A = this chain, B = another copy of it.
Amino acid sequence: MISQAMQDYLKTIYKLQNERADVVVVSNSLIAESMRIAAPSATSMIKKLAEIHLVEYTPYRGVSLSEAGEKIALEIIRHHRLLELYLAEALGYSWDEVDAEAEKLEHVISEEFEDRIDEILGFPTIDPHGAPIPSRRGDIYKRTSLPLSQLRVGQCAIVQEVSDQSPELLRYVEDLGLKLGTRMEVQERAPFNGPLLLRVDAEKQYSMGLELASQIFVAIVE
């Protein structure tokens, strides 16, 4: 089994490659920045990962996961998201707490543990933030939702997923009364990239900045 550090690199690369619309090539500095380590640390680990064929790497040109590397990344992400859901469902964690705890547990649980919570949870396909849980085989469905910040005035949408980057953000979104499945309508867009005016559940209204709105992913309805 590969080290915990290697697992973290693979997971990070996967997320940059597949879950960030703005990223076209996964560069060294991007990895270093999102893992909060110095760039040379990333270079040396990337070289090790390339040696054991978990990533493809061309010096100065960036990195991408090999098939084997992606498989491991998805396995870790599966652990993470199953754990998040289990912590929420079975242990009563709130959705802003689950990420930090799952982060530590994801590297140590056995396949046995994974299978047992999967079964107890009824073989779920999304985690508490709406992110898809890869199957044991490594299948994961492509998300079709788009950031709330991209909606035009008059469009209605349903919340599908909220970024779990920050517990504060999750707490704020929860305080607003927004949950997965909440329906909303964009009533106005203030000029010069100003905030959106949202109507929620046909009664409440909020003004929401674009930075936050870009972290909330929705499906447009009719």
How many positions in chain A have a CB within 8 Å of any CB in the partner chain? 18
B116 touches A92 (CB 8 A): yes
Tell me, yes or no, whether A101 is within 8 Å of chain B by CB.
Answer: yes
Interface with B: A6-14, A105-113, A161-169, which one?
Answer: A105-113
Which residues 70-121 of A have a CB within 8 angstroms of B? 87, 90-93, 97, 100-101, 104-105, 108-110, 112-113, 116-117, 120
B residues less than 8 Å from A105 (CB atoms):
105, 108-109
Chain A interfacial positions (CB closer than 8 Å to B): 87, 90-93, 97, 100-101, 104-105, 108-110, 112-113, 116-117, 120
**Residues of B close to A100: CB separation below 8 A:** 110
Q: Which residue of B lies closest to A91 (CB)?
A: B116
Apart from A91-B116, A93-B116, A101-B109, what 6 extra A-B contacts exist at CB < 8 Å?
A91-B113, A91-B120, A92-B116, A100-B110, A101-B113, A105-B109
B104 touches A108 (CB 8 A): yes
Rounded to whole angstroms, the CA-CA distance of A109 and B93 in the bound complex is 13
A141 to B109, CA, bound (A): 30
Pairwise interchain contact A109-B120, C-beta atoms closer than 8 A: no
Contact pick for A90, options B87, B90, B101, B112, CB 8 Å: B90
Q: Which of B90, B92, B112, B117 contacts A97 (CB 8 A)?
A: B112
Closest to A104 in B: B108
**A117 touches which one: B91, B104, B109, B117 (CB < 8 A)?**
B91
